[in-house]
Structure 1
């Protein structure tokens, strides 16, 4: 039996400055040959300019761990661990609508009774990361899960409601894991090194309308199953489904799939590392032309082959760290001249969901994060994403605020504070460094090389080591400067992301 230790145990929950202190998420092989999918040309959508607000931007924050997003009417909802939920209409100001696995939670009529079988099997008194999807009958299906916490003994089920805010009525359990010495759903004796921990579900439709569920954490990794869109249940005869990534207790969890109509790729988002403030949680992505994979990274590595080395100690990070496109990890932007307040930055950002707005052509990354020097307190954050020239998602450096879209070459030239997210899994916080994008096209300061404005908002940076980073320029709200600033987000084919925020000419 694996020992999940601190990353998988629930932390003391308390309210502090409006934030819930909680450590939640998945608890806890397969193989594949190196594969390179053909690469459709990505054409990022043109977003019409929005006039930035003149006054200081305000946010209303909320704590929902492992937020999974769904839109109902004109409102965005997130559902997360501990049966917490919140809603917003602008991605900036949130209202909490539920929290706590108790009889008073409005999402269920006495959830501890309704989901007694689930909680009993998992030997726990709480629920972990759920997902809510609207299916063919117009009803809302909540895919819920519970885990013992120090082992992958877990249960995953589904409940149904007429309205997104509930109340949800339990339908049935779908999967169990951690049945030591007993047959698993695939007919073999359960083996935590190769079989999944049945938590962290995400249900999505492919471009043809088929329904799928991706799930799993640590243990045997991430798996996918085809679902029946009428019943909301797995189609029969699949066992645990198809293995996509991870194994041998590799610290990979929080899977979420988003299809891009621009690039024609399915993007599989996951979190590597441990979710607590010292765990080095970081978000990564792989892609496929098919909903059930194979999912590959920029090097063409089939992520099904990415797993921990069984010869190394439990939770071997070294074997998985080189793989996947790293979108974001621990970081902090050092205050520049004229800036004030707490320097912006995140600690262990992760367990994201994602959303594509067909009306505006915008992509959003929705996740929880902790903060430098603030322990386990966490909040929901939303950042805009873009598809770069290589067909990979890149994430804007600051949280989402509607802004002007256009950034010319003249606008882009200047001094930036730049974060290099690297590829490591570490509790260290990466500090920004001063870099100059000169009007003549050179890069100097903490980095050296060249840069070019590629038209539209496209930017390329080639450093002196020959590595090229492709991405997007935008204007974002810098709360430390109380103003909008030109920013960039670029990524190399090796999966390293650079973020820049302009601080001067």
Structure 2
């Protein structure tokens, strides 16, 4: 049974920083450099944790990077070798984990600061061609390590003769989770939880012990939240927004490789352990692949989830940049996100890895601002974080020609479809041939209401500075009632 396209290309993790105070140099948390310059890092499956004036992201292959502003990054570690500074010698310290998982690498970890101030790394390893995995905890007084192993807390992929699974029954890969992709968070009452899982039996949640960070006894694998029958759903990441009162569960649908069709989706609940629903009212614990279909059946799961981002490609004209920078305006298989929410200002960031058009498996970390729609759904800004404010747009600044991206539900390597339309000053929208295709409105608080081909979308108008170069661009990011995302970037003013 092929569990992944490649064991070397890993799964996913994420951490919402809702319980951590924002460092002084973070967006919304203090002064930014006068002219910030983007530097890129390669951290697959990034998971974020605040540490003093820095934010660190940890990822697969024991990679790590740090930043003070989400603009300039520094690579801190990579590859599970004896030289990796996060452990004294990870190859010996986690030998039991590697032996169970039958691998010499590590998948996506999560690092979380416990109540006593120590940093806990929830590491995990998986063999890759099956859900044979082990998850454990290592702790350190400092975010940069070295981390000391506390032992394995969960196992999956038990074979005959190896004893029962965590719930006392024989392990069933269609029902039980693959114990990877942990994300640790506190709920509004301060209770500690972990969401985790990937493919196999789906996404699960466990309540954790406040002192040790380990799962409370008697839960087995925990409560099932979504997925099953080897459906390609992974990378759970939880964000609580006290203003809306919802818990937002982000996941990635599809495969992580350049031809895997990764898309980010989100569902929400008033309770940390669900049930979760998407914008169309679909209950996410009912999402699963059809057991009668071939393994990794995508068709059954495509209708579910509120779309956040699909792979896409804008033209160089979309933000007025040099054509040599056009790869910065397109993503391939973006996914495995983590979130940052400033508890003082409510400012939200979406942090994820992505590949790029025509560049194979090369991947980097990207950050995009998020804002809430009137109905309380997060939408991501079309252009990546530049460190500049997202300025409000007055009505005379809206009209012009826009390149639109209709993020797709189809799990495919094909980029989301684009089209060129003009938002006219009279509130109408016309296509490239001048035919009427819809209408637009700008309401209070920069609310955008876009009706296109008879479908109404709600979201945000904003002016963004494109970090790839060019003048500030008016952008829109809106969501249909059914949970389909639509982006727009103005190419010329009316």
* TM-score (normalised: structure 1): 0.90
Aligned counterpart, 2:7: 9
Larger deviation: 402-411 or 302-311?
A: 402-411
1:150-207 per-position Cα deviation (integer Å, ceiling 9, x unaligned): 0000000101110111111111211000002341111110000000000000000001
Aligned counterpart, 1:476: 464
**Residues 202 and 227, structure 2, Cα contact 8 Å, conserved in 1:** yes
> How many Å separate the matches in 2 of 1:502 and 1:273?
30
Counting only pairs closer than 5 Å after superposition, residues 395-434 of structure 1 correspond to structure 2 as 395-401=380-386, 402-434=388-420
1:409-430 per-position Cα deviation (integer Å, ceiling 9, x unaligned): 1112221111000211110012
Counting only pairs closer than 5 Å after superposition, residues 167-246 of structure 1 correspond to structure 2 as 167-181=146-160, 182-246=163-227
User: Aligned to 2:450, which of 461, 466, 469?
Assistant: 461
Query: In 2 relative to 1, CA 75–213 (structure 1 residues): closer, same or farther, beyond 3 Å?
Result: same
CA-CA distance at 1:360 after TM superposition: 2.8
1:123-154 per-position Cα deviation (integer Å, ceiling 9, x unaligned): 00010000011111111111010000100000
Aligned counterpart, 1:270: 251
> How many Å separate the matches in 2 of 1:67 and 1:477?
24
Partner SS for 1:353: strand
> How many Å separate the matches in 2 of 1:258 and 1:223?
16
CA-CA distance at 1:52 after TM superposition: 11
CA-atom RMSD in angstroms: 2.0
**Residues 142 and 159, structure 1, Cα contact 8 Å, conserved in 2:** yes
Q: Does 1:258 align with 2:258?
A: no
Query: In 2 relative to 1, CA 154–405 (structure 1 residues): closer, same or farther, beyond 3 Å?
Result: same
Q: Aligned pair count?
A: 470
Query: In 2 relative to 1, CA 122–397 (structure 1 residues): closer, same or farther, beyond 3 Å?
Result: same
User: Aligned to 1:68, which of 7, 25, 47?
Assistant: 47
**Residues 164 and 170, structure 2, Cα contact 8 Å, conserved in 1:** yes
Aligned counterpart, 1:452: 441
CA-CA distance at 1:438 after TM superposition: 1.1
Query: In 2 relative to 1, CA 243–51 (structure 1 residues): closer, same or farther, beyond 3 Å?
Result: closer
CA-CA distance at 1:353 after TM superposition: 0.6
Q: Does 1:504 align with 2:492?
A: yes
> How many Å separate the matches in 1 of 2:12 and 2:401?
41
Counting only pairs closer than 5 Å after superposition, residues 85-234 of structure 1 correspond to structure 2 as 85-181=64-160, 182-234=163-215
Q: Which fold has the larger relative contact order, with Cα–Cα distance below 8 Å and residues 6 or more apart in sequence? A: 1
Partner SS for 1:267: strand
Q: Where in structure 2 are there 5+ consecutive unaligned residues?
A: 14-26
> How many Å separate the matches in 2 of 1:185 and 1:54?
53
User: Aligned to 2:336, which of 351, 363, 367?
Assistant: 351
> How many Å separate the matches in 1 of 2:34 and 2:340?
28
Larger deviation: 445-454 or 293-302?
A: 445-454
CA-CA distance at 1:51 after TM superposition: 11
> How many Å separate the matches in 2 of 1:255 and 1:230?
23
CA-CA distance at 1:479 after TM superposition: 4.8
Partner SS for 1:121: helix
Counting only pairs closer than 5 Å after superposition, residues 27-106 of structure 1 correspond to structure 2 as 58-106=37-85
CA-CA distance at 1:208 after TM superposition: 0.6
1:352-411 per-position Cα deviation (integer Å, ceiling 9, x unaligned): 111101233210111000000000000000000011111111000011012242211111
Query: In 2 relative to 1, CA 453–407 (structure 1 residues): closer, same or farther, beyond 3 Å?
Result: same
> How many Å separate the matches in 1 of 2:398 and 2:68?
31
Larger deviation: 180-189 or 90-99?
A: 180-189
CA-CA distance at 1:450 after TM superposition: 0.9
**Residues 51 and 404, structure 1, Cα contact 8 Å, conserved in 2:** no
1:292-333 per-position Cα deviation (integer Å, ceiling 9, x unaligned): 000110121110110000100011000000100111111011
Q: Does 1:320 align with 2:305?
A: no
CA-CA distance at 1:477 after TM superposition: 2.3
> How many Å separate the matches in 1 of 2:443 and 2:238?
29
Query: In 2 relative to 1, CA 51–292 (structure 1 residues): closer, same or farther, beyond 3 Å?
Result: closer
